[in-house]
C-alpha cells in the first residue's frame, strides 16, 4: 500500500480524482480487520468524527455542516467561518461557475478547520413555500437544483474535501421530519425528487446522506432506494451516512445499503451489530461493503496512509477586510439578488443625485445573513445593509436610520455584537460577552470561560459537571419591563440582581436533534429594569443524560410604541430623496426543525412598507428572507429587490446593486405567489403520519401552469439593469430520442448598459405518451452583452428531455413524437417556440454510458 504518498500529492485537488487505492488494495486492508474492528468503524466516535483504526493507517474523519459556511467540529462562536449567501441565493444566480467558485471557497474553509467531509449541498426541493429549510435548498426545479448542486460539488471536491448530497430523498418539509411517511409515486420520484441526486452522483459526489423521513412506508436509513437506484444503477461507490440520529433500529438499517451511522458514540449499531452478524442476522458481506466504502472515502480525502495525512490550516487567512474571499462573497450577493420590479427605472439610484437617503426597517441594521439550524455558522464580521449604504454614500449624502417598528418582544441570545440587544459584559473579566461556568453537584466551580454569546450550544465538556451557568452584566438602553429568558431542557433557573425569578424543571418534549441540541425553547420572565444601570443576570441549566447541553441566556427590551416608531420612519422617508426599506423573516418564523405557518411577513412589516411608499414614491423595498413571503403591496412599490439571506457581505453587495456598481444578476429559482391562497401546493402537514405528494410532478411553476392561474413572479423571472429583445430560436428539426442536442437563441441587449441574461428553454410534449401537458425546464445558458450587441445563447438539452420513467418497466424509456420547445426569460415569458420531432425506436433508453460518450 502506498496511499500516503498519493494522498500527499492530492491535497489541492488530485486527491479527489480517484488516484488512490485500488479496490484490491482496499480489500487487503479489510482483511486486516476483525469483525469488532469493522463494526466499530460504522458508528461515529463523536458528534462529528468517525473512529480511527491505527492497524490500517486510518485516522478519524471529520464531518461538518453546512451549506452556507463550514462550522468545523465545534459549535463555538469563537471559531468563526466565512458565511456565503444561502443556497437559494446561489441557485438564483443560475451560474455554474460561481457555484464552483463558492464550492472552492467552502473547501478552503474546510481545510482550514480540519474538515474532511462537508455536509452539503442540500438537494431537496421547494415543494411548498412553507418549507422550513427552503433557504437551504436550491430550487423548485430538479434541473436547476441538480446543475447548481453538481457545480458546487465539483468546486468543493476539487479542493480536496468530500461533499455530501443530502437528504436522500423527499425530505422537502420539516413537520414530523423524523417519522413522516412521504407517499410519492415512482415516476414523480424518479423524474423530480431523485433527479438532483442522480446529477450529484454523476458529478462524482463522495458521500450521500440518507434522510430522516420515510418514503412509501420505509424509513430512508433502511430504504431499498439506497441500493437501487443509488448504488447499483447510478454507480455511487461512496458511503451513505445517516442524517444525525436517523439510524434508530438495528437489523433493517444494517441489512440495507446504509453504511455509516452518525453521530456517536453509541447507538443501535454500536450496541448490537456485532452480535447480529455473529448470529447470522446480518451478512458479513454487508459489513464488508460498508467498511470498504468508508475506506474508499478515507483514501479520497487523505485519511488513509502510513501515516495518514493530517489536515493543517495551510491556507492564508480568509476573513481580513478586502481579502479575495470577501470580494467573492460580495460579488455573489449581487449575482443572486433578484430585481423583481423596477417601475420607472428607479434603480439603480444615482449617488450623484442623492443628498439624503432614509434607511428603514429592523433588518437594515440587524440583517439575517443566514438561516437557522444545522447550517448556522459564526461570522467574524458582517456588513449590514445600513453599513453598506453608509459606506457607499460617505461624504456625499446623509443617511438616516429608523427601524419603523418597535423592537421585537421575542428574546434574543445576549450578544455584544448585535445592535438590537443590550450591551453585555462578562462580570469577571469585564470584556464584552458573558461568563460561562460549569458547576458540580454542590455548585462548586469546575471550569469557567469567557464566551462571546449568550447562546452556548456546546459548553466545555468537564467531568463531574452537573450545571451550566451563564452570567452577564447587561446595561439596558431602555427603561421598563424587559423580558429575560433561559433556554434549555431539564432544571432551569434565572436570577436577576441576585433574585431568582424563575426556577423549574422542563422535561424534554422532542427527539428532533435541532430542538434538543441547537435551538431549545426559552422560558421567560418579565422584570422592570432601569436604563443605563448595569444589572447581573444569571441563567442555569442542569445537565441530565439525553437532554442535550445547549444553554441560552436571552433578552428582549420593553415593548415600544408602534405608532411612534412608524411615524418617525414615515417622517424620515418624507424628508429624504429616496427611501430603502429592508424587511424580512425572523429566526422564529423561518428555520430548520419546523415549517412556517404563514407566508405573511411578521410584525406589521406590510403596514410599514405601505406607509413609507406613501410618504416617498422613490422607495426601494429589499426582502431579506430565505423563502417566499406574501407581497400584498407589490403593485404599490416601485422597486423590489429580493436579497434572500445574503451572507456576511450582505450590505456591501446590496449597496453595489442599489447604486449600480453591479447588476442584480438573480433570476427566481422558485415561483413567488401574490397571496398564500393562490399557491397550488402549500399545505405540508402530514395526516395520520403520511404526507401525500398527490400533485405528482406538478410542483412550482408546473403546478401554476396546470392550475391556469398566474403567480406574482414566475420561476426564472428577474429584471437586471438592461433590456433584451429575443430574436430567433434555431433548433434541430429532428433529434434522436435519449441524446443531447443544442438549441441556439439569438438576443440583443437593447438597454443602456452591459448585462447578463439567463436564457431559458422549456419543453412540453405535443404527442409524447405520458408527457405532462405543461412545460418543464430542459436547459439554460447565460450570455453577457454590451448595449446594442447581439449574442447567441447555446442551450444544451440533455438526453433526459426526451425520456420518461416507465412505471410498467421500471426504467427510462425514449419517447418518439413531437416536442414543443419554448425559449425566453422565465416560465411565464417565453416569446420563442419551435416544434421538433423526436425520432428513434420507442423503448429502452440508450443509457447513461452512451449518453455521456456523446457529450
Shortest separation between residue 738's beta carbon and ligand BGC, angstroms: 35
CB nearer to ligand BGC: pick between 548 and 653: 548
DSSP per-residue codes, 18-36 = T-S--HHHHHHHHHT--HH
Shortest separation between residue 48's beta carbon and ligand BGC, angstroms: 8
Give CA–CA dist 740/735, Å, rounded.
8
Cβ-Cβ contacts under 8 Å for 159 (sequence gap 6 or more): 12, 13, 103, 104, 106, 107, 108, 110, 111
Shortest separation between residue 658's beta carbon and ligand BGC, angstroms: 34
Using CB under 6 A as the binding rule, whether residue 135 contacts ligand BGC is answered as no
Shortest separation between residue 241's beta carbon and ligand BGC, angstroms: 9
Copy the grid coordinates of residue 409: 418582544
Shortest separation between residue 592's beta carbon and ligand BGC, angstroms: 7
Scan residues 101-130 and list those touching ligand BGC (CB under 6 A): 119
CB nearer to ligand BGC: pick between 511 and 786: 511
CB nearer to ligand BGC: pick between 244 and 401: 244
CB nearer to ligand BGC: pick between 211 and 637: 211
Work out the end-to-end distance of the chain between its first and last CA atoms, rounded to an integer number of angstroms: 36
Shortest separation between residue 65's beta carbon and ligand BGC, angstroms: 5
Cα 122 to Cα 68, 150, 152, 180: the distances in Å are 10, 11, 11, 19
Copy the grid coordinates of residue 169: 430523498
CB nearer to ligand BGC: pick between 68 and 287: 68
Shortest separation between residue 243's beta carbon and ligand BGC, angstroms: 5
- Taking every pair of Cα atoms in the chain, the longest distance, rounded to a whole number of angstroms, is 83
Scan residues 165-194 and list those touching ligand BGC (CB under 6 A): 166
Considering CB under 6 A, how many residues would be counted as binding ligand BGC? 9
CB nearer to ligand BGC: pick between 57 and 66: 66
Using CB under 6 A as the binding rule, whether residue 424 contacts ligand BGC is answered as no
Sort residue 321 into left (φ over 0), alpha (ψ -120 to 50) or beta. Answer: beta
Scan residues 489-548 and list those touching ligand BGC (CB under 6 A): 513-514
CB nearer to ligand BGC: pick between 81 and 483: 81
The dihedral formed by the CA atoms of 749, 150, 629 and 715, expressed in degrees to the nearest 10: 40
Calculate the CA 587 to chain-centre distance. 14
CB nearer to ligand BGC: pick between 113 and 331: 113
* CB half-sphere exposure, 766, CA atoms < 13 A: 12
Using CB under 6 A as the binding rule, whether residue 196 contacts ligand BGC is answered as no
Cβ-Cβ contacts under 8 Å for 240 (sequence gap 6 or more): 168, 207, 208, 209, 210, 226, 230, 257, 258, 259, 260, 293
CB atoms within 10 A of CB 504: 10
- Is residue 243 flagged as an active site residue? yes
Burial class (CB in 10 A: 0-12, 13-18, 19+), 610: middle
Scan residues 784-803 and list those touching ligand BGC (CB under 6 A): none
* Active-site option among 116, 181, 243, 259: 243
Determine contact, residues 556/409, Cβ cutoff 8 Å: yes
Shortest separation between residue 299's beta carbon and ligand BGC, angstroms: 23
Backbone angles phi, psi at 474, to 5 degrees: -115, 150
Determine contact, residues 495/538, Cβ cutoff 8 Å: yes
191 DSSP assignment? I
CB atoms within 10 A of CB 117: 28
Shortest separation between residue 619's beta carbon and ligand BGC, angstroms: 38
The 3-state secondary structure of 502-552 reads EEEEECCCCCCHHHHHHCCCEEEEEEEECCCCCEEEEEEEECCCCCCCCEE
CB nearer to ligand BGC: pick between 21 and 107: 107
Shortest separation between residue 124's beta carbon and ligand BGC, angstroms: 10
Shortest separation between residue 69's beta carbon and ligand BGC, angstroms: 13
Answer for which of 20, 41, 65, 805 binds ligand BGC (CB under 6 A) is: 65
Q: Angle 324-336/650-658 helices, nearest 10 degrees?
A: 50
Calculate the CA 431 to chain-centre distance. 34
CB nearer to ligand BGC: pick between 65 and 116: 65
Q: Tell me which residue of 69, 70, 98 sits closest to 758, measured CA to CA.
A: 98
- ∠ at Cα 558 (434, 362), nearest 5°? 80
Give CA–CA dist 92/339, Å, rounded.
11
CB nearer to ligand BGC: pick between 518 and 623: 518
CB nearer to ligand BGC: pick between 244 and 741: 244
Determine contact, residues 552/331, Cβ cutoff 8 Å: no
Cα 520 to Cα 445, 483, 501, 517, 544: the distances in Å are 24, 17, 20, 7, 14
Give CA–CA dist 566/256, Å, rounded.
59
Shortest separation between residue 514's beta carbon and ligand BGC, angstroms: 5
CB nearer to ligand BGC: pick between 372 and 638: 372
Using CB under 6 A as the binding rule, whether residue 374 contacts ligand BGC is answered as yes
**Shortest Cβ contact with ligand BGC: which residue?**
374
Shortest separation between residue 244's beta carbon and ligand BGC, angstroms: 4
Q: Angle 385-392/650-658 helices, nearest 10 degrees?
A: 50
Scan residues 149-168 and list those touching ligand BGC (CB under 6 A): 166
Cβ-Cβ contacts under 8 Å for 733 (sequence gap 6 or more): 836, 837
DSSP per-residue codes, 597-617 = S-SSPSTTHHHHHHHHHHH-S
Determine contact, residues 27/279, Cβ cutoff 8 Å: no
Sort residue 696 into left (φ over 0), alpha (ψ -120 to 50) or beta. Answer: left
Using CB under 6 A as the binding rule, whether residue 243 contacts ligand BGC is answered as yes
Q: Which residues bind ligand BGC (CB under 6 A)?
A: 65-66, 119, 166, 243-244, 374, 513-514
Catalytic annotation, residues: 243
Amino acid at each position: 500500500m502506498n496511499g500516503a504518498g498519493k494522498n500527499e500529492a492530492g491535497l489541492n485537488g488530485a486527491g479527489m480524482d480517484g488516484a488512490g487505492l485500488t479496490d484490491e488494495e482496499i480489500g487487503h486492508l479489510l482483511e486486516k480487520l476483525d469483525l469488532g474492528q469493522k463494526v466499530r468503524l460504522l458508528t461515529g466516535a463523536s458528534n462529528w468524527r468517525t473512529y480511527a483504526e491505527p492497524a490500517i493507517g486510518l485516522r478519524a474523519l471529520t464531518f461538518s455542516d453546512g451549506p452556507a459556511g463550514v462550522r468545523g467540529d465545534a459549535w463555538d462562536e469563537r471559531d468563526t467561518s466565512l458565511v456565503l449567501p444561502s443556497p437559494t441565493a446561489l441557485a438564483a444566480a443560475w451560474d455554474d461557475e460561481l457555484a464552483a467558485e463558492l464550492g472552492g471557497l467552502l473547501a478552503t474553509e474546510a481545510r482550514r478547520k480540519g474538515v474532511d467531509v462537508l455536509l452539503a449541498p442540500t438537494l431537496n426541493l421547494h415543494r411548498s413555500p412553507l418549507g422550513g429549510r427552503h433557504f437551504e435548498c436550491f430550487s423548485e426545479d430538479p434541473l436547476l437544483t441538480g446543475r447548481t448542486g453538481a457545480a458546487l460539488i465539483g468546486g468543493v471536491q476539487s479542493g480536496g474535501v468530500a461533499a455530501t448530497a443530502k437528504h436522500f430523498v423527499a425530505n422537502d418539509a420539516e413537520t414530523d421530519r423524523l417519522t413522516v411517511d412521504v407517499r410519492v409515486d415512482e415516476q414523480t420520484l424518479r423524474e423530480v425528487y431523485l433527479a438532483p441526486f442522480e446529477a450529484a452522483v454523476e458529478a462524482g459526489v463522495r458521500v450521500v446522506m440518507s434522510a430522516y423521513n420515510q418514503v412509501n412506508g420505509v424509513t430512508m436509513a433502511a430504504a431499498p432506494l439506497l441500493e437501487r437506484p443509488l448504488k447499483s444503477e447510478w454507480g455511487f461507490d461512496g458511503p451513505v451516512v445517516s442524517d444525525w440520529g436517523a439510524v434508530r433500529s438495528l437489523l433493517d438499517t444494517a441489512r440495507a445499503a446504509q453504511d455509516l451511522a452518525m453521530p456517536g458514540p453509541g447507538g443501535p449499531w454500536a450496541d448490537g451489530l456485532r452480535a447480529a452478524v455473529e448470529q447470522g442476522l446480518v451478512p458479513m458481506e454487508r459489513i464488508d461493503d460498508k467498511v470498504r466504502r468508508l475506506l474508499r472515502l478515507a483514501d479520497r480525502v487523505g485519511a488513509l496512509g502510513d501515516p495518514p495525512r493530517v489536515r493543517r490550516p495551510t491556507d492564508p487567512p480568509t476573513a481580513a477586510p478586502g481579502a479575495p474571499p470577501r470580494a467573492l462573497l460580495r460579488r455573489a450577493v449581487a449575482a443572486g439578488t433578484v430585481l423583481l420590479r423596477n417601475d420607472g427605472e428607479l434603480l439603480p439610484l444615482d449617488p450623484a443625485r442623492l443628498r439624503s437617503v432614509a434607511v428603514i426597517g429592523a433588518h437594515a441594521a440587524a440583517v439575517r445573513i443566514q438561516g437557522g439550524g444545522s447550517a448556522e455558522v459564526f461570522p467574524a464580521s458582517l456588513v449590514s445593509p445600513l453599513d453598506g449604504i453608509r459606506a457607499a454614500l460617505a461624504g456625499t449624502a446623509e443617511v438616516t436610520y429608523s427601524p419603523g417598528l418597535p423592537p421585537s418582544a421575542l428574546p434574543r441570545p445576549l450578544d455584544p455584537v448585535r445592535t438590537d440587544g443590550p450591551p453585555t459584559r462578562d462580570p469577571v473579566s469585564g470584556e464584552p460577552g458573558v461568563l460561562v461556568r460549569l458547576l458540580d453537584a454542590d455548585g462548586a466551580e469546575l471550569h469557567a470561560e469567557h464566551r462571546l454569546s449568550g447562546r452556548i450550544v456546546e459548553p466545555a465538556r468537564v467531568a463531574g459537571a452537573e450545571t451550566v451557568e451563564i452570567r452577564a452584566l447587561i446595561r439596558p438602553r431602555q427603561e421598563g419591563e424587559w423580558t429575560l429568558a433561559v433556554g434549555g431542557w431539564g432544571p432551569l433557573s434565572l436570577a436577576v440582581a441576585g433574585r431568582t425569578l424563575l426556577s423549574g424543571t422542563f422535561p424534554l418534549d422532542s427527539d428532533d436533534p435541532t430542538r434538543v441540541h441547537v435551538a431549545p425553547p426559552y422560558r421567560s420572565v418579565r422584570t422592570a429594569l432601569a436604563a443605563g444601570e448595569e444589572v447581573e443576570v444569571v441563567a442555569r441549566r442542569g445537565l441530565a443524560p439525553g437532554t442535550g447541553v445547549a444553554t441560552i441566556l436571552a433578552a428582549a427590551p420593553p415593548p415600544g410604541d408602534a405608532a411612534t416608531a412608524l411615524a418617525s420612519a414615515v417622517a424620515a422617508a418624507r424628508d429624504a430623496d429616496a427611501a430603502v426599506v429592508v424587511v424580512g423573516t425572523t429566526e422564529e418564523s423561518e428555520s430548520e426543525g419546523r415549517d412556517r405557518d404563514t407566508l405573511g411577513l411578521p410584525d406589521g412589516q406590510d403596514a410599514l412598507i405601505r406607509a413609507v411608499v406613501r410618504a416617498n414614491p422613490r422607495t426601494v423595498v429589499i426582502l431579506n428572507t430565505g423563502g417566499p413571503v406574501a407581497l400584498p403591496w407589490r403593485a404599490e412599490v416601485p422597486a423590489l429587490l429580493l436579497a434572500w439571506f445574503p451572507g456576511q457581505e450582505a450590505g456591501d453587495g446590496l449597496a453595489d446593486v442599489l447604486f449600480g456598481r453591479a447588476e442584480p444578476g438573480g433570476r427566481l429559482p422558485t415561483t413567488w405567489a401574490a397571496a398564500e391562497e393562490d399557491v397550488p401546493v402549500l399545505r405540508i402537514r402530514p395526516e395520520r403520519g403520511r404526507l401525500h405528494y398527490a400533485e405528482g410532478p406538478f410542483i412550482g411553476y408546473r403546478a401554476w401552469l396546470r392550475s391556469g392561474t398566474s403567480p406574482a413572479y414566475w420561476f426564472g423571472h428577474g429584471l437586471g439593469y438592461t433590456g433584451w429583445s429575443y430574436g430567433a430560436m434555431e433548433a434541430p428539426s429532428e433529434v434522436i430520442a435519449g441524446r443531447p442536442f443544442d438549441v441556439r437563441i439569438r438576443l440583443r441587449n437593447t438597454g443602456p448598459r452591459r448585462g447578463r441574461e439567463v436564457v431559458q428553454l422549456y419543453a412540453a410534449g405535443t404527442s409524447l405518451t405520458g408527457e405532462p401537458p405543461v412545460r418543464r425546464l430542459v436547459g439554460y445558458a447565460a450570455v453577457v452583452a454590451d448595449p446594442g450587441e447581439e449574442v447567441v445563447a447555446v442551450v444544451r438539452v440533455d438526453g433526459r428531455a426526451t425520456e420518461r420513467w416507465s412505471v410498467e418497466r421500471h426504467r427510462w424509456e425514449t419517447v418518439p413524437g413531437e416536442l414543443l420547445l419554448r425559449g425566453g426569460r422565465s416560465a411565464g415569458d417565453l416569446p420563442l417556440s419551435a416544434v421538433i420531432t423526436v425520432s428513434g425506436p420507442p423503448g429502452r433508453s440508450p443509457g447513461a454510458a452512451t449518453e455521456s460518450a456523446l457529450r
